[in-house]
Structure 1
Amino acid sequence: MKNMYLLKQHYHQIAENAPTPDIESKRQAKLEEYGIIDTLPEDEFDSLVELAAMITDSPISLMNLLTYDRQWTKAAHGMEVESTPRSESVCQYTILDEINYEIEDLAKDERFSSKSYVNNEPNLRYYSGHPLRTSDGYNLGALCVLDTKPKKLTEEQKRGLKTIANEIMARLELKKKQQELKRLNKEKDHFLRAVNHDIKSPLNGIVSSTHYLQKLWEGDKDELKQILSMIELSGRKLINYTSELVTNSMEQGETKLILDEVEIEDLIQDVINIYNPLANAKGVNINSHFSTPGTFHLDSEKFKLIVSNLISNALKFCREGDNITLDIKTSGTEHKTLYIYVSDTGIGIPAEFLPDIFEKNKKHQRQGTNGEISTGMGLPIVRKYIELHNGEIKVESIEGMGTTFKVNIPENLPA
């Protein structure tokens, strides 16, 4: 608590001693997105800073980024500096606007006349800076040039300084995109590992079940035919599932809807039929109630994945004797909306999981009631596909009593 009090005091002092933009907290958040603070020197920025000194005929040039409490220098020419208290800097004023900020003589400006860098080495007199501005309007810092004698830049020199500042921002944007690409690649690897497990498990089940039926079955032939048909249907659904995952561009965030005109009851009943054998084996009842007259436009494959994940999730956390109930209805005429409630009487979700239950999070990887493995990927995919349909999903749960997922999807009519 004492450390927190000192931290608040520290930021309060900064606010008193240094001017801050109205959007300072958002500006800081934006700066953090670039992951640039306290990184090693890089030739590309050193060269641009040197170029700024050359075109303005200045002995010193700096690329500065401003955190809450300090000015950190990424690149420097003509001066060795790494970090300065923000309240001591000149660039704190540059980031308040989007144009060049110039002080012809620091010694004659009461804000800086008593500063050590003015009265002692390096005896600075001149400052000109241009904000390092993101495309969405946040000034992360400044490219500045300094001199030991008073002067004034020409308009051409100021334009040159602006051009170099824009080039620095272009390089920062590129680095940010490269970092994002690395992050996406890591997520993709995690996703593929999880999917690999999810695919292997049902495939192994299909293979072992088929082997059993071929070698050991001595029961009724009609029952055998029914079970083999179910295995075939499950296999086809799994093939469609993997095809969807492979062909879409989820890792680039470019997944698109492929719209179909479907009968909702038939579509959902098809999914329920796949899970009935698993539910029967576990002693769980799956009930459904439909009020879905006519047809509805949506992406049938993605919708089946939504329903499949919700049923699978409910089944995983149900015990023998529990119930899963699907209530499905449509409302409206010209602009229809589909409502789906998937409720279960299972073990429920811990309250601390609920706020981010639709996020990829290792803590959500709970085992099912029969030791079923969870990868934590199902619900994030469900939300992604629902939002792709411009829909919403909510969850209500009481640990030990059950869970209800509430989904609404507006009809997505073809253009």
Structure 2
Amino acid sequence: MTIPLRPDETERLAALAAYNVLDTPRESDFEDIVKLASEICGTPIAVVNLIGDGRQFFKAEIGLGVRETPLETSFCGHALLNEEFMLVPDATLDHRFDCNPLVTGEPGLRFYAGALLKTAAGLPLGTLCVLDFKPRDLASHQRTALRTLANQVMTQLELRRLNTRLAERVAEVVAERDRSEMLGREIDHRVMNSLQFVSALLAMQAKTASDSEAARQLGLAASRVNTVARVHRHFYVEEAVETTCALAYAHRLLSDLAEVISPCSVTTAGQATPIPTTLIMPLGLITNELVTNAAKHGARSVEVRISASGEGVRIEVEDDGPGLPVDFDPAARKGLGMRIVQSLVDQHAGVLTFSSGRVGGAQLAATLTTVG
């Protein structure tokens, strides 16, 4: 028997498709509802039935043992034409179903009651229905319970759709993050290559310069650019996050720097405390300058100690070299290195201190804080 279609059938099917629930596996939330409906109504069959295009899909069922049947034999297809609730006490006495093979043959259905599953826009997706093999009726409280459980089915469908949307959005955010990180790594890689290229050009120019002072200045410029490249490289070993471990970063940087200052040896000490990443670049530049200066002035060993908090970091560099001049003043030094250190400390509202080392050399300490 052909079941009449609703005037808004196209919109109804589109609404059903939006839930992406057809042909999905059984889920306990829906299975529990049909068990409860069967228990309350005292029927051997209860179904969460979704009416698709030419078929009906059972999201949950008890008493049938199948997940799908043709729409031609559907009771629920007729229920879609009702406002809220359809009751068939005896299918053999109803002209819509008296020739239905499910009534005239196996399994011999007689009773049907179905509450519509409706969207917020009023479009019916299917029913929560109960069936029996004998004529009967439902009491008022059973009808109310069936309607209430139908509302719970819709709540579960909405939650399921929201969870799906959330999962899709999370996947989009993760994919966008991955793309951004990939782009960031590519940019970092190109910055590194550019810095190394500039350093190499300056070094080549220094070798061919006829004026000794010009050659010296070009060599110094090449060294500074290489320093920035080194600091940059070790910073981006880790993922870009709001905080990073200052000690781990310093250890990586100084392991690389050991080749530059050889035969002077360098060690690190401190606690693995995270600091804001805004302090990592100045930390690296200051550490690089103080350690290379110590090695340049005759130190055979250098110890770098890092103490950090969430708001700042303190770098102490102690060496066993000849020590600092009596009138040492970093602000008055002509060398570019100490001027860079003092400038970075000032930019980060910090303090630069100096004293004699414990083993007769020098100890310089720079404290940096987050600004703003």
TM-score (norm 2): 0.51
Please list, as runs of the form range in 1=range in 2, the aligned pairs for 1:75-90 lying within 5 A after superposition.
75-90=60-75
1:53 and 2:53 matched: no
1:125 and 2:110 matched: yes
Deviation at residue 215 of structure 1 after TM alignment: 4.2
| Counterpart position of 1:30 | 15
SS across alignment from 1:17: coil
SS across alignment from 2:106: coil
1:114 counterpart letter in structure 2: C
Distance 1:120 1:136 in 2: 38
1:17 counterpart letter in structure 2: T
| Counterpart position of 2:142 | 157
Deviation at residue 95 of structure 1 after TM alignment: 2.1
Correspondence for 1:71 among 56, 64, 89? 56
SS across alignment from 1:141: strand
SS across alignment from 2:53: coil
| Counterpart position of 2:99 | 114
Q: Deviations along 1:78-110, whole A, 9 cap, x unmatched?
A: 232322211220111222344111122211111
| Counterpart position of 1:276 | none
Correspondence for 1:188 among 165, 173, 176? 173
SS across alignment from 1:61: strand
Deviation at residue 196 of structure 1 after TM alignment: 1.6
Distance 1:171 1:47 in 2: 12
Q: Deviations along 1:151-173, whole A, 9 cap, x unmatched?
A: 33233211100111111121222
2:192 counterpart letter in structure 1: V
Deviation at residue 76 of structure 1 after TM alignment: 1.7
Distance 2:192 2:121 in 1: 54
SS across alignment from 2:43: coil
| Counterpart position of 1:171 | 156
2:63 counterpart letter in structure 1: G
Q: Deviations along 1:165-200, whole A, 9 cap, x unmatched?
A: 111121222222222222223222321221122222
> CA contact under 8 A between 1:72 and 1:82: conserved in structure 2?
yes
Correspondence for 1:212 among 188, 194, 197? 197
> CA contact under 8 A between 2:110 and 2:131: conserved in structure 1?
yes
SS across alignment from 1:38: coil
Correspondence for 1:99 among 76, 84, 96? 84
| Counterpart position of 2:129 | 144
Aligned-residue CA RMSD (Å)? 3.3
> CA contact under 8 A between 2:114 and 2:130: conserved in structure 1?
yes
Please list, as runs of the form range in 1=range in 2, the aligned pairs for 1:232-271 lying within 5 A after superposition.
none
User: Once the two structures are aligned, what percentage of the paired residues are identical?
Assistant: 32
1:188 counterpart letter in structure 2: V
Distance 1:50 1:204 in 2: 61
Deviation at residue 118 of structure 1 after TM alignment: 1.1
Q: Deviations along 1:128-166, whole A, 9 cap, x unmatched?
A: 101112233322111111122323323321110011111
1:90 counterpart letter in structure 2: F
- Structure index of larger Rg: 2
Distance 1:23 1:52 in 2: 29
> CA contact under 8 A between 1:131 and 1:143: conserved in structure 2?
yes
SS across alignment from 2:152: helix
| Counterpart position of 1:284 | none
Distance 1:30 1:156 in 2: 30
Distance 2:186 2:64 in 1: 62
Distance 2:145 2:15 in 1: 26
Distance 1:23 1:211 in 2: 68
Q: 1:207 to 1:98 in 2, by over 3 A?
A: farther
Structure 1 segments, 4+ long, off by >4 Å, are: none
Distance 1:99 1:118 in 2: 24
> CA contact under 8 A between 1:125 and 1:149: conserved in structure 2?
yes
> CA contact under 8 A between 2:73 and 2:101: conserved in structure 1?
no
> CA contact under 8 A between 1:126 and 1:150: conserved in structure 2?
yes
Q: 1:117 to 1:189 in 2, by over 3 A?
A: same
Deviation at residue 112 of structure 1 after TM alignment: 0.7
Distance 1:210 1:30 in 2: 57
Q: Deviations along 1:253-282, whole A, 9 cap, x unmatched?
A: xxxxxxxxxxxxxxxxxxxxxxxxxxxxxx
> CA contact under 8 A between 1:61 and 1:144: conserved in structure 2?
yes
1:18 counterpart letter in structure 2: I
Distance 2:70 2:16 in 1: 17
The gaps in structure 2 that reach 5 residues or longer are 207-216, 226-231, 233-238, 243-372
> CA contact under 8 A between 1:98 and 1:130: conserved in structure 2?
no
| Counterpart position of 1:322 | none
> CA contact under 8 A between 1:98 and 1:133: conserved in structure 2?
no
Distance 2:180 2:46 in 1: 51
Distance 1:91 1:108 in 2: 17
Distance 1:79 1:207 in 2: 68
Please list, as runs of the form range in 1=range in 2, the aligned pairs for 1:310-349 lying within 5 A after superposition.
none
> CA contact under 8 A between 2:55 and 2:71: conserved in structure 1?
yes
